[in-house]
Structure 1
Amino acid sequence: MASPISIFLSRVIGHVVDRVVFKVERGHGPAFWITTIIAEIVLGILASVIVFWFSRRREFRADAGGARLAGGGNMIVALERLRLTAGQPHLPDRMAAFGINGVIGQGLKRLFMTHPPLEERIAALKRGS
């Protein structure tokens, strides 16, 4: 839903800029297209950040569900093993698409992570148990 909403809003913004700022009365002028493209890029990035945030929250909930099913200690051990294997040189290339790399991101990089760092997931499970 984030993508269609961002496309719709970018067209609305382009239309408003075209009509109000540049006073185009018929059709769409160049300001509409330029503004729409810029707004689509900006809103698309913002939509991605929101989707990634929900993905990280869902990962914490999945860990909690796994802890309820398998036991908190077993889930912590499983995540710690995953963290140990994430440091091996051959895994990041294979696992990069899944966002699981065990490295804590800094700054803006954290906004674009689909999974929370393994250290945070383990700490959350330890707090919950």
Structure 2
Amino acid sequence: MQRIVLFLLTNLAIMLVLSVTLSILMSVFGIDRQGLGGLLMLAFVFGFGGAFISLLMSKWMAKRSVGAYVIEQPQNNTEKWLLDTVKRYSDKAGIGMPEVALYQSPDMNAFATGANKNNALVAVSTGLLENMSQTEAEAVIGHEISHVANGDMVTLTLVQGVMNTFVIFLARLIAGVIDNATRGNNNQGGGLGGIAYFAVVFVLEMILGVLASIVVAWFSRKREFRADIGALEKLKHSQESQLEGSMMAFGINNKSKFISLFASHPPLDVRIKALRDSQ
């Protein structure tokens, strides 16, 4: 619960900074609450800008979130095998060699992220390497490399940018409607004051942001029916995922029912059935 609360507070702080910055720019450029064209332009810039900044920070955030260390020189046979396997799959996919990282966790999990398919990160948990056979682990690694090769992170960033644009635009549009509805005749008296207006915008951005996250996660789930059936069967018996916050969405193994609407990966049983049905 503490991890979830900290994650939510972090997101609230980010939204507050974006909201205040956008409000300042609206004042500087003289865009009032009815200037829909200018507002849409700023929403587009901030929406896609925020999404791409997150993408550029994704590798750094990933390593910090799970405490992963990048394997520069393999210290043992397992690390050497992992580097060789990632190299083989990335060469086969026609992409640059990703950074390969390990993080300490008993659950069997892995994820890939990065802004560029030739400069990505593949992170693997120690639990995966300790509890899976090499064949099963290769299936998971191949699954993650396919995400990199397909440019899934960039695709999801574009979707997120569209959602962010609508969140920023609609929050201020709805707040403007509320402001006009609460004014008296001839725009005298009533209405939302400056602080009240921005407070309403902030709350609306939080609500719409949650709904947008559900849409993005739904889109991501549609891209996840590619993993090896054998590896997925093995993952069913793993421990609960230790990935936190936003990184939970990247992990291949996500068994939390509480965040099912926000999960970027469909449940393992659903994925296995879909893969079998498609054969």
**8 Å CA contact retained: 1:104, 1:117:** no
1:4 matches 2:165: yes
**8 Å CA contact retained: 1:99, 1:113:** no
Q: Could you tell me how far apart the structure 2 residues matched to 1:22 and 1:100 are?
A: 51
Q: Which residue of 1 aligns with 2:267?
A: 117
Q: Which residue of 2 aligns with 1:71?
A: none
* Unaligned ranges ≥5, structure 1: 67-74
SS at match of 2:222: helix
Q: Could you tell me how far apart the structure 2 residues matched to 1:43 and 1:59 are?
A: 25
Q: Which residue of 2 aligns with 1:54?
A: 219
What amino acid is the match of 1:88? Q
State the Cα distance separating 1:118 from its structure 2 match.
Answer: 1.0
Give the 3 Å change call, closer, same or farther, for CA 2–78 of structure 1 in structure 2: same
Q: Could you tell me how far apart the structure 2 residues matched to 1:94 and 1:104 are?
A: 11
Question: Please, which of 196, 221, 230 is the counterpart of residue 77 of structure 1?
Answer: 230
Post-superposition CA distance 1:42-81 (Å, at most 9, x none): 1111101100110111112xx1xx6xxxxxxxx2112223
What amino acid is the match of 1:93? Q
Q: Which has the higher contact order (CA 8 A, sep 6+)?
A: 1
Higher helix share: 1
**8 Å CA contact retained: 1:56, 1:116:** yes
**Aligned-pair identity (%):** 39
* Unaligned ranges ≥5, structure 2: 1-161
How many correspondences in the alignment? 111
Post-superposition CA distance 1:1-43 (Å, at most 9, x none): 11121011101111111122234949x6244222211111111
**8 Å CA contact retained: 1:102, 1:117:** yes
Give the 3 Å change call, closer, same or farther, for CA 115–49 of structure 1 in structure 2: same
SS at match of 2:224: helix
Q: Which residue of 1 aligns with 2:68?
A: none
Question: Please, which of 103, 119, 124 is the counterpart of residue 255 of structure 2?
Answer: 103
Give the 3 Å change call, closer, same or farther, for CA 111–14 of structure 1 in structure 2: same
Q: Could you tell me how far apart the structure 2 residues matched to 1:36 and 1:14 are?
A: 6
State the Cα distance separating 1:116 from its structure 2 match.
Answer: 0.6
Q: Could you tell me how far apart the structure 1 residues matched to 2:171 and 2:213 are?
A: 15
What amino acid is the match of 2:262? F
State the Cα distance separating 1:121 from its structure 2 match.
Answer: 0.3
SS at match of 2:236: helix
Q: CA RMSD in A?
A: 2.8
